């Protein structure tokens, strides 16, 4: 693993390395180099298995963190490639040409986060949210509770209490301010 990391360092601009376990590392690289790095890992370093593509919404920093998870079945090691992309008009180069199934992940990210992958097959088609008419629901600015209140009716007979008011009612009902 060490050797692989060193080799990567010689050819790519790596901004961060997090060693989780002996057989698992996360490396962060720039957006422009990400697909080249993944290609390099697949073709030169034996990471022939694509595990998953995921994303973290760092809304405070205005970025999405994409994570491409690769596996080297011979060496039994995993690597996560992290890259930050802007949340504004979030776009990333498609990687479906490397593994066909990446198109499905990219389609999901388009639907759930609004991240576009131009050229990715069927990327604009609904994935699971047929008829969705709101902002992508996994973006952190999406107000799940508001959506829930507006779209799902409460079950009959539901009631609740605010702890502070309820305690006043029970413990000091007569007090006024």
Q: Which residues bind other proteins (CB under 8 A)?
A: 144-145, 148-149, 152, 154-155, 157-164, 166-168, 170-172, 174-177
Backbone angles phi, psi at 112, to 5 degrees: -85, -30
Nearer to other proteins, 57 or 85 (CB): 57
Backbone angles phi, psi at 124, to 5 degrees: -95, -5
Nearest distance in Å: CB 140, other proteins? 11
Spatial contact of 106 and 123, defined as CB atoms under 8 Å apart: yes
35 DSSP assignment? H
Nearer to other proteins, 88 or 164 (CB): 164
Nearest distance in Å: CB 156, other proteins? 8
Nearest distance in Å: CB 163, other proteins? 4
Nearest distance in Å: CB 175, other proteins? 6
Nearer to other proteins, 119 or 132 (CB): 132
Spatial contact of 68 and 38, defined as CB atoms under 8 Å apart: yes
Name the nearest CA neighbour of 86 among 106, 112, 58: 58
Nearer to other proteins, 133 or 175 (CB): 175
Nearest distance in Å: CB 164, other proteins? 3
Instruction: Kindly tell me the number of DSSP H helices and DSSP E strands found in the chain.
Output: 5, 5
Nearer to other proteins, 75 or 168 (CB): 168
């Amino acid at each position: 693993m060490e050797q692989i990391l060193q080799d990567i360092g010689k050819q790519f601009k790596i901004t961060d390395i997090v060693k989780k376990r002996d057989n698992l590392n996360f490396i962060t690289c720039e957006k422009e180099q990400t697909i080249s790095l993944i290609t390099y890992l697949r073709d030169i370093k034996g990471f022939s298995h694509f595990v998953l593509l995921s994303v973290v919404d760092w809304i405070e920093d205005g970025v999405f963190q994409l994570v491409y998870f690769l596996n080297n079945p011979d060496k039994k090691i995993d690597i996560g490639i992290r890259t930050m992309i802007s949340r504004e008009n979030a776009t990333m180069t498609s990687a479906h040409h490397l593994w066909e199934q990446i198109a499905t992940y990219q389609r999901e990210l388009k639907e759930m986060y609004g991240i576009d992958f131009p050229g990715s097959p069927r990327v604009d088609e609904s994935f699971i949210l047929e008829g969705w008419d709101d902002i992508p629901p996994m973006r952190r600015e999406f107000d799940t509770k508001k959506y829930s209140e507006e779209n799902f009716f409460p079950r009959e007979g539901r009631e609740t209490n605010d702890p502070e008011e309820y305690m006043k009612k029970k413990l000091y009902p007569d007090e006024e301010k």
